[in-house]
Chains A and B, each alone.
Chain A
Amino acid sequence: MKQAGSRWLVLFGLVFCSLGSQAIETGQGILARSDAIRNPGKPFSLNMELIEYRDGKQINFSELQVYAKADPDNGRFRTLVRFAAPVRDENKLLLKMGNDMWFYDPVNKVSMRISPQQRLLGQAANGDVAATSMALDYQADLLPAEEIRDGDRHQRRCHRLELAASAPDVTYHRIVFWTDIRNDRPVKGQFYSESGRLLKTVYYRRYREQLGIERPTEMVIIDGLSPSWVTVLRYKDYAWRDIPDLWLQRDYMPRFKPQ
């Protein structure tokens, strides 16, 4: 009788401990860990290729250089994007500090404020090319795990996160986000407007070691309304970079030279 009681106690303890460990696992924690996979923890730069397709044909190709640094006060990224190609866009600059965005054209020589809706890169939103911290911008609810097909066509068991905008200046109103249960890697996202319309589906794929850990080096963006409109963002040449705060302000844009 005593032995049976002990066994029940042990069993109860095990169940209690496992329940406790599940309670600790939150959507916000998972999202923060997936952010750390997408965004290096120190100021960094990378080169990006943006390839746009319509109905199976390439219609646009741009090359960009991205310099990103987290604001020490609030953790949000400030990003400077330099257009390197095509030739008519060469040396144009986009500075993004949340919704405080500025565009500089070396031909016009003026830094002008732009709205978040003024997308400069085809289908890709300005927030797609700039570094963003989703854990700071969205409230994440953890839903039951499910198995989905990732961008490399493998089945993955994933956390499913329901993200609701928690800051006024975020790009998307709602996101459904899947991360790999084993390692918190972003796998897929579906991004919605305020009206509930699917704006785009994104696959994160081609994980390669960059700056110490494996990070997605490709985003495939599929338009929600017109699935034949596809944008591929390819990241390469990640590098730690000393980025002075001076670079990340509008008056420095005319002075910026590619590094």
Chain B
Amino acid sequence: MRKIVVALLLVAPMWAAAETDGGADEAALTLADSPSPTGQKRHDWRMFTDVGVGYRNSREGAPSQAYGRLSLDVAVDTGISERWRVVLSSRLDVSSQPPVDQKSMNTLKEAYVSFKVDERMILDAGRVNTRYGVATGYNPTDFFRAYAVRSLISVDPEALRQNRLGSAMLRGQWLWDDGSLTALYSPRVDAEPNERTFSPDWGASNPEHRYLISASHRFSPALSPEVLLYGVKGQPPIVGINQSFLLGDATVAYLEWSGGRDRTLLARALGQDSARSFHSRLAGGLSYTSPHKDTLTLEYHYNEAALNAGAWEKVQQGAVAPYLAYRQLALETQDLPTHHGLFLHYRWKDAMISGLDLSALARIDLSDKSALYWLQARYAWSRYELALSSQWYPGGERTVFGGMPQRSVAEVMLRVYF
């Protein structure tokens, strides 16, 4: 009798476990018996609005202030026939207390037609937001990034790339099974930027005659480089290359480089017609995703055309006008203001609960040790998103980030998709 009891006691846990497994499986299958939710109709357009309120904590000498902002973003990408396609994209930002006097700004991001000559050749004509680069925080091969941001509403690098002016151009792309060749010509349309609200601002997007040729080919799963040749009329061409690699199951490594003969950033800022010399720009990094779906990206940035630590210190300590002109140029051209920078980006998708994304980024200037930090929590429903974000800029006076007019900013934003 005792042996029977012992045997039953030994078997019982296994029996209970099997029951639990079977119970869990049955519960799952019962859920799967539920009918499908109603599907969504396909759209050729996308529209959303952002409503945000925030507080800008300014440095000494300037008032800290609350602000509100409203944005409307519209994008259409539709085929009007088998060969023709129309793309339109625009964003209007209205702010109650902007950093500068401008209260509203419309960014006509794209407006072009696309013609499919045949399956392997496509032509585009109009304003195109053409983007290149494999890095996240700094893109030396994103040659059309300069002067393209009309409304600075976020420090998120992705937001900067999305919400910017495209350039008027004629672009052709030839595709083959494992690659493509793209050639574009972007003419000079206007000389000076125009800050009127609804101006297409050709002076910002098309200030010079420019061209770009890019080619990519997949030689193997590990090797699929993209090479670029970019030129501005009257200036030597600049070469670029992009390459990414998979390291194991969880890590992507990448390298983005451009090089060419140009003036230093300081010479350009001061309007000096100085001699050109060869300068490299580089962004290289690793992006690791854990089994919990969070991704950490670490990048190193290098800009040989910028000031080194010693020269930057001299400019910081010198006259105000050159210092401000230099900072302004670096900001408007989205270029690194000093030789070396570090960038970290963290994103945790479905953090703890489904629909909750946590993001953080840090930019650290390795010359003056100032930094920008940004945190965001974003929760998404099917048609709504709620985001809480905060950014702050530690650093000494006149440093890259310590020289920003705001010490910190906090914002709550609601996005509604139509």
A residues within 8 Å of B by Cβ?
49, 51-54, 56, 58-61, 63, 84-88, 90-91, 97-100, 106-110, 112-119, 122, 149, 151, 153, 201, 203, 205, 218, 220, 222, 227-228, 230, 232, 234, 244-246, 249-252, 255, 257-258
**Contact between A117 and B221, CB atoms less than 8 A apart:** no
Q: Does B293 contact A (CB under 8 A)?
A: yes
Residues of A within 8 A of B177 (CB): 245-246, 249
Nearest-neighbour CB distance to chain B for A144, whole angstroms, equals: 19
For B32, give its contact among A99, A227, A230 (CB under 8 Å). Answer: A230
B316 at the A/B interface (Cβ < 8 Å)? no
B85 within 8 A of A: yes
Compute how far the CA of A59 lies from the CA of B353 in the bound complex, rounded to whole angstroms: 9
User: Contact partner of A246 among B34, B120, B246, B355, CB < 8 A?
Assistant: B120
CA distance A251 to B158 in the complex (A): 20
B252 touches which one: A88, A113, A245 (CB < 8 A)?
A: A113
**B36 & A51 in contact (Cβ 8 Å cutoff):** yes
Contact (Cβ within 8 A) A90 B43? yes
* 10 pairs, CB–CB < 8 Å, chain A vs chain B: A58-B34, A90-B46, A91-B77, A100-B222, A117-B290, A227-B25, A246-B120, A251-B180, A252-B175, A255-B122
Q: Chain A residues with Cβ under 8 A from B22's Cβ?
A: 149
Give 12 new A-B contacts, CB below 8 A, not counting A84-B40, A88-B385.
A56-B27, A56-B31, A84-B42, A88-B417, A98-B221, A100-B221, A122-B354, A220-B29, A227-B27, A246-B177, A251-B175, A252-B180
Asked if residues A250 and B218 are in contact (CB atoms below 8 Å), the reply is yes
Q: Are A97 and B221 in contact (CB under 8 A)?
A: yes
Instruction: Report B-chain residues with C-beta under 8 Å of the C-beta of A87.
Output: 40, 43, 46, 382-383, 417
Tell whether B324 is near chain A: CB-to-CB under 8 Å.
no
Chain A residue contacts of B291, Cβ below 8 A: 117
- The 0/1 profile, CB within 8 Å of A marked 1, for residues 69-83 of chain B is 000000101010000
Q: Which residue of chain A has the shortest Cβ distance to B161 in the bound complex? A: A108
Given A100-B221, A246-B120, decide whether A61 and B37 contact each other with a Cβ distance below 8 A.
yes
B367 within 8 A of A: no
CB pair A99–B175 under 8 Å, yes or no, is no
- Closest chain A residue, CB of each to CB of B73: A107
B131 part of interface (Cβ distance < 8 Å): yes
Q: How far is the CA of A54 from the CA of B34 in the complex (A)?
A: 14
Contact A118 B295 (CB under 8 A): yes
CA distance A99 to B248 in the complex (A): 9
- Render B196-235 as a binary contact track against A, CB cut-off 8 A, 1 for contact: 0000000000000000000010100110100000000000
Enumerate chain B interface residues (CB-CB to A < 8 A).
21-22, 24-25, 27-29, 31-32, 34, 36-37, 39-40, 42-43, 46, 75, 77, 79, 85, 119-120, 122, 129, 131-134, 158, 161-162, 173, 175-180, 216, 218, 221-222, 224, 244, 246, 248-252, 254, 287-291, 293, 295, 350, 354-355, 380, 382-383, 385, 417
Which listed residue (A58, A84, A106, A246) contacts B175, Cβ 8 A?
A246
Distance of B322 from chain A, by nearest CB (Å): 35
Across the interface, B133 reaches (CB within 8 A) one of A52, A56, A100, A110, namely A110
B246→A49 contact, CB < 8 A: no
| Alpha-carbon distance between A106 and B75 when the two chains are bound, in angstroms | 10
Known: A98-B221, A115-B251, A117-B291. A232 touches B32 (CB 8 A): yes
> A54 contacts which of B132, B249, B354, B385 (Cβ < 8 Å)?
B354
Chain A residues with Cβ below 8 Å from B251 are 115
Q: Is B354 touching A63 in the complex (CB atoms < 8 A)?
A: no
CB contacts (< 8 Å) of B179 on chain A: these are 249, 251
Chain B residues whose C-beta falls within 8 Å of the C-beta of A116 in the assembled complex: 249-250
Are A117 and B249 in contact, CB atoms less than 8 angstroms apart?
A: yes
B129 proximity list for chain A (CB < 8 A):
109
User: Nearest residue in A to B158 (C-beta to C-beta)?
Assistant: A108
Residues of B within 8 Å of A106, CB to CB, are 75, 77
Q: A97-B221, A115-B289, A246-B120 are in contact. Are A88 and B249 (CB under 8 A)?
A: no
| Closest residue on chain A to residue B136 by CB atoms | A112
Distance from B378 Cβ to chain A, minimum over Cβ atoms (Å)? 11
Residue in B closest to A60 when the chains form the complex, CB atoms:
B354
A246 / chain B contacts, CB cutoff of 8 Å: 119-120, 175-177
In the A-B complex, list the 5 residue pairs whose CB atoms are closest, starting with the nearest.
A227-B24, A100-B221, A251-B180, A85-B40, A117-B250
A87 and B40 CA atoms in complex are apart in Å by 8
Kindly report which residue of chain A lies nearest to residue B245, judged by CB atoms: A113
Residues of A within 8 A of B254 (CB): 113
**Which interface residue of B32, B39, B85, B134 has the most chain A CB atoms within 10 A?**
B32
Asked whether, in the complex, the Cβ of A86 is within 8 Å of the Cβ of B383, the reply is yes
CB atoms of B252 and A115 under 8 A apart: yes
B218 touches A115 (CB 8 A): no
List chain A residues, Cβ under 8 A from B354. Answer: 52, 54, 59-60, 122
Q: How far is the CA of A134 from the CA of B24 in the complex (A)?
A: 26
Q: Is the CB of B39 within 8 A of A63?
A: yes
Of A88, A122, A230, A258, the residue contacting B350 (CB under 8 A) is: A122
Q: Which residue of B lies closest to A99 (CB)?
A: B246
- The docked-state distance in angstroms from the alpha carbon of A84 to that of B251 is 28
Q: Is the CB of A220 within 8 A of B216?
A: no
Shortest B267–chain A CB gap in Å is 31
Closest A residue by C-beta to B176: A246
Instruction: A99 to B244: give the CA distance in the assembly, Å.
Output: 13
User: Are the CB atoms of B131 and A53 closer together than 8 Å?
Assistant: no
- With A49-B36, A61-B37 as given contacts, are A232 and B31 in contact (CB-CB < 8 Å)? yes
A17 and B216 alpha carbons, distance in the complex (Å): 58
